[in-house]
Structure formats: structure tokens, C-alpha cells
Amino acid sequence: MPAFPHGFVWGVSTSAFQIEGAVAEDGRLDSVWDVFCRKPGAIRDGQTAEVAADHYHRWPEDLDLMARLGVGGYRFSLAWPRIQPAGTGPANPAGLDFYERLTDALLARGITPVPTLYHWDLPQ
């Protein structure tokens, strides 16, 4: 098996909508996907992302798992319904604070944050 080159960074990635949950907390409003998921018949078994993997509450544990795995980079998307819930106007301080805490905690664990600005998660 060929070896990876020196400096190769192993990483993991997530999508905010698929992992965060907490869809109605700290000022977050509906995303286009929240509305779509509530449409009868749109999603198998009527599943939503209301809880998802509960990363919004469990992020410290999630980052500890990444650190134990030796992950060097984490690509995560930003949930615009959390940052700018109405789609326009002022930013939501609680949403910005969540991503600031997440980024600071990644750096403290030696994991490079790689935020994705857009991953299909827009305010309704």
C-alpha cells in the first residue's frame, strides 16, 4: 500500500443541517430544508433535522473524539439560518458565538478548522 506524503492531513467533514440539530434554539429560524422536510411525503418516514446528531449541544464531545482519532482538519458548514436567521439584517450573536466557540475549541485541540460558507442551508 502506498504511503501518504509527508504533511498529508487527515480530516473529517460535516454539514450543519445534517449534524447540528437545535433548529429552533438561540434565534435560529427555519431553513429551506426544515420547511421541505416537514412537507408530507417529501422525506422518507417524515424525518427532520430537529435533533440530527445534536452537535449543537454535543460539540465538545465530538471534538474530543476527533482529537482522539488524530484528525488534523475539520471541514464544517455554517448554518445561515443560525447566523442570519431572517436572511437579511443583522447577524445573530448567538449563532456567531457558536461558531466562534467551535473554532476556538478546534484550535485548542490542534485541529485546523475549515469552514464552508455555503452548503445548501439557507434561511427560509
Q: Specify the pLDDT at position 12.
A: 98
**Residue 31 pairs with which residues in a beta bridge?**
123
- Give the integer Cα–Cα distance in Å for 111 and 98: 17
Domain residue extents for the chain: 11-116
Q: Specify the pLDDT at position 1.
A: 73
- Give the integer Cα–Cα distance in Å for 107 and 39: 39
**10-residue stretch averages of pLDDT, the chain, 124 residues long:** 90 98 97 96 93 98 98 98 96 98 99 97 94
- Give the integer Cα–Cα distance in Å for 107 and 116: 17
Q: Specify the pLDDT at position 118.
A: 95
Q: Specify the pLDDT at position 59.
A: 99
3-state DSSP call for residue 23? coil
pTM value is 0.93
Q: Specify the pLDDT at position 2.
A: 81
